[in-house]
Chain A
Amino acid sequence: MANPDRDEAFWVSQARQGSDEAFTELVGLYQAPVYNLCYRMLGDPGSAEDAAQETFLRAYRYLHRYDPSRAFATWLLSIAAHYCIDRLRRARYALVPLDAEDSEGSVRELADPESPDPEAEVMKREQQELVQALLMNLEGKDRAAIVMRYWHSISEVEIAEALGLTVSAVKSRLHRARRVLASHWEEPSLRGSGERRPHESPAI
């Protein structure tokens, strides 16, 4: 059975020697996490596609700066996060909505009518949309930290390296972000009527 770590090291080493095919393999391996981070950061499929493509192009151009002692995925996500943070900053100053830039589509998480429980699928999709709406309340770096931590299970130490912060700053940003998300969790504009009460959470 192929070892994914060995595959990654092999493709990275080939790509560093100038193989475009090897780099395209790496794009195939990491397209989902990079795209997901961009989508969670920018909130729009078109902008996320563009940002993810730009992330890989930057990674390709600066591959000689990659330190193989670090995880390649974290390095890629770091490039994506910095690019998205810059883009959010520019959009804020330019007062241009990100979704007005382009409109390339992506896979929309629609409920599968063939699913054994379409109602549960619809509920799951609604919850995904709710989480995305909540993320938009966070500041750029906090959003990046939350996505890295909860979607990609990256350690606080690696997040600190990726975002150029100290570990304690990452912890405090994660805590602050969690509090902001919780404060918006109860907003009626985000939640429909007749929902589960908080104390009825499956976690509890």
Chain B
Amino acid sequence: MNHRPFESWLLEELDLTPGQKHELHLHLRECRDCAALAESGVALRSARVRPPAPGFAARFEGRLISHHRAERRRRLWGSLLLAAVGSGLFAWWIAPAVGAFVASPATSIAAWVQQLLHIALSARAILEVTQIMFRIVPDLAPSYLWMVLSSTLAGLGLLWSLSLWRFARGAQGV
């Protein structure tokens, strides 16, 4: 049996003219499929909202208190663990230096000064190398190639920002 256009009238829940209503009425007398569609639609529209058992909000309050308690406990243990690990790592890092300083303070101070000098000289060398690179590298390739490279990097950055934005937007529904 041809269900068109009756099936779409029922599914789309359109406002029908009196003529269309009459046509639909005649079709439903003959077509069991469309009649089932109409009757199940009526059942859906007349279905009731089922409420929870009384005291739902009070039970939620209890659950929220347990949640807060668990959260506080988790935060406390997390802080304690972090402090313990941090202290352990610091002690492990500082122990040899403290030992050496106690054994021979003058040698230790000389070694620290030497270390600082080494860091300062390394930073200066890196700065000089960077300045030289900035002078040499632009001449290694034509300017349009640099433009293509910088546009590609900018495009990738934009793509990354867009995906982050979409991800953050998707998280709205939790």
Write the residues of chain A forming the contact surface with B, with a CB cutoff of 8 angstroms: 20, 23-24, 27-28, 31-33, 35-36, 39-40, 45, 48-49, 52-53, 56-60, 62, 65-67, 70, 75, 78-79, 82, 104-107, 109, 124, 127-128, 130-131, 134, 146, 150-152, 161-162, 164, 174-175, 178-179, 181-183, 185-186, 197-199, 201-204
Q: Contact string, B43-63, partner A, CB cutoff 8 A, digits 1/0? A: 111111111111011011101
**B residues contacting the other copy or chain, number (CB 8 A):** 41
Q: How many Å lie between the Cα of A32 and that of B53 in the bound state? A: 10
Give 8 nearest A-B pairs by CB, closest first. Answer: A198-B35, A35-B52, A182-B37, A182-B36, A201-B39, A203-B42, A185-B36, A150-B44
Q: Is B40 a contact partner of A31 (Cβ separation < 8 A)?
A: no
* Residues from chain B with Cβ under 8 Å of A202 in the complex: 42
Question: In the complex, what's the smallest C-beta–C-beta distance from B139 to chain A, in angstroms?
Answer: 51
The answer to whether residues A31 and B57 also contact, given A175-B11, A199-B29, A204-B28 and a CB cut-off of 8 A, is yes
Given contacts A182-B36, A198-B35, A204-B38, 13 further A-B contacts (CB under 8 A): A33-B49, A65-B171, A66-B172, A67-B172, A105-B53, A107-B51, A107-B53, A128-B47, A146-B44, A151-B47, A178-B10, A199-B29, A201-B38
Residue of A nearest to B42 (CB): A203
* Residues from chain A with Cβ under 8 Å of B64 in the complex: 20, 23-24, 57, 60
Q: Is A203 a contact partner of B41 (Cβ separation < 8 A)?
A: yes
Question: In the complex, what's the smallest C-beta–C-beta distance from B50 to chain A, in angstroms?
Answer: 5
Residue of B nearest to A48 (CB): B52
* Residues from chain A with Cβ under 8 Å of B38 in the complex: 198, 201, 203-204
Residue of A nearest to B39 (CB): A201
Judge whether B32 is part of the interface by a CB distance below 8 angstroms.
yes
Judge whether B174 is part of the interface by a CB distance below 8 angstroms.
yes
Q: Is A27 a contact partner of B173 (Cβ separation < 8 A)?
A: no
The answer to whether residues A65 and B36 also contact, given A35-B50, A56-B60 and a CB cut-off of 8 A, is no
* From A48, A49, A128, A204, residue with most partner B Cβ within 10 Å: A204
Residue of B nearest to A34 (CB): B52
The answer to whether residues A35 and B51 also contact, given A62-B174, A198-B38 and a CB cut-off of 8 A, is yes
Name the contact of A186 in the complex, choosing from B36, B47, B54 (C-beta under 8 A).
B36
